[in-house]
Amino acid sequence: MVDIVVATPAARRAMARERQKDLYGASLRSLVYGIVEDYGISQARLARVLGISSAMLCQLVSGERIKIGDPVASARLMILDQRRALVRRLDAPRIKEVLDEVARIRDPWPRGGRTSSRAIGDLREIADAEQLETAAAKLDDDFPRLADFLRRAAHDLSG
List pLDDT tens digits, range 78-100.
Answer: 999 999 988 999 999 999 999 99
Q: What's the confidence (pLDDT) of residue 144?
A: 80
Mean pLDDT of 148-159: 73
Sign for the CA dihedral angle at 147, 150, 152, 154 comes to: negative
**Using one digit for the tens of pLDDT, what is the confidence trace for 15-43?**
999 999 988 889 999 999 999 999 999 99
The interaxial angle of helices 71-82 and 92-103, nearest 10 deg, is 150
Q: How far apart are CA 43 and CA 46, in angstroms?
A: 5
pLDDT tens digits along 99-139: 999 999 988 765 544 456 667 777 867 888 899 999 989 98
Q: Which residue has the higher pLDDT, 111 or 77?
A: 77
Composition of the chain by helix, strand, coil, percent to 5:
70, 0, 30
Domains of the chain: 7-108 (1.10.260), 110-159 (no CATH)
Q: Give the pLDDT score at 151.
A: 85
Report how far residue 61's alpha carbon sits from residue 80's, in angstroms, rounded to the nearest whole number. Answer: 16
For residue 1, pLDDT beyond 60 = no
**pLDDT tens, position by position, 52-68:** 999 999 999 999 999 99
pLDDT at 5 over 50: yes
